[in-house]
A = this chain, B = another copy of it.
Amino acid sequence: MNVAEALAAFDSVRSGDRMHELMTELFPICRSITGDGFRQSLGIVGKRIPLDVHEVPTGTQAFDWTVPKEWNIRDAYVADATGERLVDFRESNLHVVNYSVPVRARMPLQELLPHLNAIPEHRDWIPYRTSYYAPSWGFCLTQRQLDGLVEGEYEVVVDSTLEDGSLTYGECYLEGETDEEVLITCHGCHPSLANDNLSGVVLVAALAELLGPLERRYSYRLLFIPGTIGSITWLSRNEAVVPRVRHGLVAACVGDPGPLTYKRTRHGTATVDRAATHVVAHRGGQVRDFSPYGYDERQFNSPGFDMPVGCLSRTPHGEFPEYHTSADNLEFVRPEQLADSLAAYLEVLDILEGDRAYVNLSPKGEPQLGKRGLYPSMGGKRAEDEVLAMLWVLNQSDGDHTLLDVAERSGLSFGAIREAADKLLAGGLLSPVPQL
Contacts and interface: CB of A to CB of B under 8 A. Distances in A.
A398 interface: yes
A301 B360 CA distance: 13
Given A292-B391, A391-B298, A64 B398 contact: no
Interface stretch (A39-47, A81-89, A362-370): A362-370
Interface string A369-392: 011000000000000000010011
A395 B365 contact: no
A291 interface: yes
Contacts of A362: 63-64
A304 B360 CA distance: 9
A129 to B, nearest CB: 12
Contact of A292 (B235, B298, B394): B394
Given A303-B398, A395-B302, A410 B366 contact: no
Contacts of A228: 366
Interface in A226-252: 228, 231-232, 235-236
Contact of A363 (B289, B291, B303, B398): B303
Interface string A117-148: 00000000000000001100000000000000
Contacts of A236: 364-365
Contacts of A410: 291
A396 interface: yes
23 contacts: A63-B365, A63-B367, A64-B364, A64-B366, A65-B365, A133-B370, A231-B365, A232-B364, A235-B364, A266-B395, A292-B366, A293-B391, A302-B360, A302-B363, A302-B366, A302-B394, A303-B363, A303-B394, A303-B396, A304-B363, A304-B364, A304-B365, A306-B398
